[in-house]
Structure 1
Amino acid sequence: MDNFGDNFEDGDVDPAAEFLAREQSQLAGLEDDLNTGSIPIGVTQTLSNETSSPIITPKVEREEAEKIKKWRAEQKTLLEEKDANEEKKKEELRLIAKKELEEWYKSHKEQIAKTKDVNRESAINAEKQFVAESDDIEPGTEWDRITKLCDFNPKANRASKDVTRMRSIILQLKQMPLKKPLPTK
């Protein structure tokens, strides 16, 4: 390990220790002048690692001017008033929102009830019409009944599946005469 110059046991003087010793000897007279036994409140004390001498830094507290105290008090009361007004407005908005939400739920329930009634009525009417038409079965009118059930308007519902092939097959079958009529019950 001697090849790297890491041998610190040669008795070389540490430069930091030398500096601290020199500073301590220069400041030795000051320690006697200061009364370090009791440090007044508002004074911070910091000790360095190598020395036992305190570094005293007094805190200087400045007294605020009368105008600044008055301004702070006015700002505090103004902010308290604003907070109180804000809380009142929040509560008013909560009440308004609650009332609007209740009205919306009420109208929504009414709309759902109306839609249910309309759907029920249309289903009952459609069922009555289907039953009435099924009683009037005549031989040879089967394809006419099927075409009544199918919607042949291609623009009727664009969101549904493409049923053009099915439409064309039904129309072809309707136009072809049957050799035998379908049995009826």
Structure 2
Amino acid sequence: MDGFGDNFDQADVDPAAEFLAREKDQLAGLGDDVIPAASESNASDDAPANSAAPVVREEPEKIKKWREEQQKRLEEKDKEEEKKKLELREQAKKELEDWYKHHEEAIGKTKASNRESAKNAEKQFVAETAEIEPGTEWERIAKLCDFNPKSSKSSRDVSRMRSIILQLKQTPLTSNA
């Protein structure tokens, strides 16, 4: 296979290892000044006192003061908010109690009114039944019927029945038996 220029019989040389070795030789002097980020924490614990330690920057006094004031303002706002919440809850509770009170009064008035109107209607009905005269039966029936065709809510046509009742009211049948 020498005819193709490939000589696989030579000692195996790794091109990647060769490249890394060359680069390491060229960059050998640069690595002493820079501490890799991953090894900073390890270097500060194990390194002698003369190595460079990471510098911890303190916050300026104005920023500390602002943070403290901001914290106080937030705490005051939280207290005010809680206070307002309690006030709103008390107000809502009072309004709800008032509403229930007025609602119960309205229901009581409505019940009393309905009872009174029912009593009056019953008295009127009893009074009218006592005054039954012969020949007025159809007038009484006509009073109980609704003769307005527009207000009829039924789906059936009751116009014939309405006309018959009106006719009987105007000319009642006399039974001469």
TM-score by length of 2: 0.63
Cα shift at 1:21: 7.1
Q: What does the per-residue CA deviation read over 1:44-89, in whole Å, with 9 as the maximum and x for residues that have no partner?
A: xxxxxxxxxxxxxx98754221111111111110111111011111
Report the Cα distance in structure 2 between the residues aligned to 1:116 and 1:41, rounded to whole angstroms.
Answer: 88
Selected match of 1:100 from 84, 90, 95:
95
Selected match of 2:164 from 150, 169, 172:
172
Bigger Cα displacement from structure 2, 88-97 vs 167-176: 167-176
Greater Rg over alpha carbons, structure: 2
Structure 1, unaligned runs of 5 or more: 1-16, 43-57
Matched, 1:90 2:82: no
Cα 1:121–1:34 shift into 2, 3 Å? closer
Q: What does the per-residue CA deviation read over 1:98-136, in whole Å, with 9 as the maximum and x for residues that have no partner?
A: 001001001101110110111011111111211221222
Give the residue type in structure 2 aligned to 1:103. D
Matched, 1:145 2:140: yes
- Larger RCO (CA under 8 A, 6+ residues apart): 2
TM-score by length of 1: 0.61
Cα shift at 1:41: 6.8
Q: What does the per-residue CA deviation read over 1:151-172, in whole Å, with 9 as the maximum and x for residues that have no partner?
A: 34567x6xx6158953663243
Matched, 1:112 2:107: yes
Matched, 1:68 2:60: no
Cα 1:64–1:149 shift into 2, 3 Å? same
Give the residue type in structure 2 aligned to 1:39. N
Counterpart of 2:158 in 1: which secondary structure? helix
Report the Cα distance in structure 2 between the residues aligned to 1:135 and 1:94, rounded to whole angstroms.
Answer: 61
1:11 paired residue number? none
Cα 1:178–1:20 shift into 2, 3 Å? farther
* Alignment coverage as a number of residue pairs: 146
Identity of matched residues, % = 52
RMSD of aligned Cα (Å): 3.8
